[in-house]
Structure 1
Amino acid sequence: MIYTLTLNPSVDYVVFADDIKLGELNRSQKTFKFAGGKGINVSRVLQAHGIPSTALGFIGGFPGALIQQKLEESEIATDFVAIQDDTRINIKLKGGNETEINAPGPVISQAETAQLFKQIEQLTAEDTLVIAGSIPSSMQADIYEDIARLCKCQFVVDAEKDLLLSVLKYHPVFIKPNKTELEEMFDCQLHTDDDIKAAARELIQQGAQNVMVSLGGEGALFVSESLVYKAQVPSGRVVNTVGSGDSTVAGMLAGRERGLSLSDSFKLAVASGTATAFTEDLATDEQIQQILPNVQLTII
C-alpha cells in the first residue's frame, strides 16, 4: 500500500481574475476550493491512475472537515490525526502572474505528533510512504528525520532543502527536487544537464537511491548511480503549476506499482506533471494519456 504524508495540509482557495490591482476592489471570474498539500496531491493523482493510497497527516476545524469530505468524494482512503487547531487555508491568485499566499499552519501538540509516529511505526516493508511538503511552524525542524528513522517501509521525499537533506542517510527510494531547489542545496547556478547530473549524483553519494529533477518546460532528469534519462515534454499552454511536481511523483509511483520499466515509469511521471500544468486542477488519467506518447526520453 502507498501512504502519503502531509504534515501541513490546506484548503487551497484558487481565485481567477483577469487583472489583480493591489489596494483596490477586485472581482474574480471563478473560484475553486481544493484539498491541498503535496502528499494529498500525490494521493489524488494516484487515484486518477487507478492506484489506491491512504492519506495521512493532521487535520482540524472546518478546513480539515472540508479536506476529509473532498477526499471521501474522490474515494481516497484517509487516516488523519484529528487536531485541536484549524487546518490552514492557502490563497492562490491567478491573474496574469501566479501569486500564492500560504499560511504557516496549525499548532500540533506532542500527543498528536506521537499518534502520527505510532501510525508510521505500523507500516511494513511492503508499504511505501511519500513524505511531502512543508511542516507547521509549531513542529520541530527535524521532524522529517524523525519520521525517516521510524520507517520500516520504503519511502519517497519531496520537500525543500533542509527537510530533504536530513533524510538522505536513510536511503529514500527517490527524491524529487526541482532545479531551483537543487541550486539552493548546493548554493550555485546549474547551467547545463551535466551540472544537474553532477549535483544529483552528489545527493546519491549522500544516500538517495535515485533523484528525479523537475526542469519545468525543459522537461526532467532521472539520475541513478548508473544511468541518466532526460525527458523532453511537449509544448502547451501552462495554466497552473501548483501540483505539477506532486503529479510527477504520483506518476513515478504509479509506474512502479504497475510493474513498468524504469524508463516507462519515468515517462508516466513526466506526462503526469505536464498534464497537471496544462489544466486548472490536477490531471485526470485521460489528460495524462494524451500527453504520454509525446514524452521523449534520451540517455545522457
Structure 2
Amino acid sequence: MSAHVLKPGLLSTLQDRGRRGHAAIGVGRTGAMDVPAWRLANALVGNRGEEAALECTLLGPTLRFEHAAWVAITGAPIAARVDDTALPNWAACHLPAGSVLQLGHMATGCRSYLAVRGGFDVAPVLGSRSSDLHAGLGYASGRPLQAGDSLPIGRTAADTAPTDRPRALPWRLNPQPWFDVLQAPLMLLSGSHEAQLDAASRQQLGTGTFRVGSASNRTASRLDGARLQLRAPQELISEATLPGTVQLPPSGQPIVLMAEAPVTGGYPRIGQLAAVDLPRLAQRRPGDPVCFRHGTLAQAADRLRRRDQALDTLCRQIEQRLQHDGFLTA
C-alpha cells in the first residue's frame, strides 16, 4: 500500500513525536510542530501508537492513494477535495482506491496534519520516522516531499463498509480547544540572561507585540518588532538549548527555537516558552502577532499537565467511538 506524491505542496514532511534522547551525539528532537494536532489526526483514523503523519505547511500536497484508505486532517484549516467531493477537517474520511486527494491553501494557521490508518511506514532512523531537514535524517535523507515520491502505508485490517466514493464518518471533533484562533498571549518563563536586557527591552519582551518573520521555519520562529538590547555586551560559551528557548542574536530580533532546534547555542537566552504553548506558536504564520506574558515554572507545568490529560481523555473517547461504530475491533 502506498500514496504517490503528484504535487509536494510548499513544505511537506513526515513527522511523528520526534527523535528524542540523542542530544549527547548532537541530534535534535525534530517531530511534529503541533503535537496535539498530530495525535488527534492519528486517533481519528484508529492509529494507537507513534505512527508518522504528513505535516503540511501553508499549502498542502496532492496525493494519489493506490489502495482504499482512511485519512484524517487536523491542525490549520485546509481545503481538501477528491474530485468534486469536499472533505471535512477533524473527521475520519474513507478514500476509495485510486483517489486523488488535493490539499489546498490554509486560510488561517500554518500547519496541517494528514494521518492515514496504518501510518506512513517509512524506515525509522534512531527510533523515529520524522524528517529532520537540517540533519538530513529520515525519509529520503530528511528532505521535504517531491513529486514522484511514493510513501508506503502500514497494513491494517480490512476497511469497514468501503464505498466507491469518498465519504466521512458522520461526526467530527471540535477544533476550537486545539487551534488558537484568537492568537492569545504565550506564556514565557524567565531566561538565564533576561536580567541582562535593558529596562526598555524587558518591558517590550513582557508586554509588547512582535510579528512572526518571513524567515521563520522548523528550526526557529524569528520575531520582528522593536529591537531588544542588552545592558552590556556578553561573551558566552555555547550551552544546551531545546524547543522553546528564546535567544537574542546580534540583530536584536529574538528567535524562538522550534522542533528542529539545535542542541546547543551561544546567543543570550532571554526566555523559555512554556512547552504547552509551542504548538500555538507553530501555528502562527509570517505576519501573525506574538505577545508574551510571564509565568512561573509551576504554572507552565500545570497547564501542560491539564492539556495532556484532556488530550489523553479525548483520544480514549475517539477510540471508544470508533469501536462503537465498528471502525475498530476492541
What interval of TM-score do these two structures reach, taking the shorter chain for normalisation?
A: under 0.3
Q: Which has the higher contact order (CA 8 A, sep 6+)?
A: 2
Greater helix share, structure number: 1
TM-score (norm 2): 0.26
Larger Rg, first or second structure (1 or 2): 2
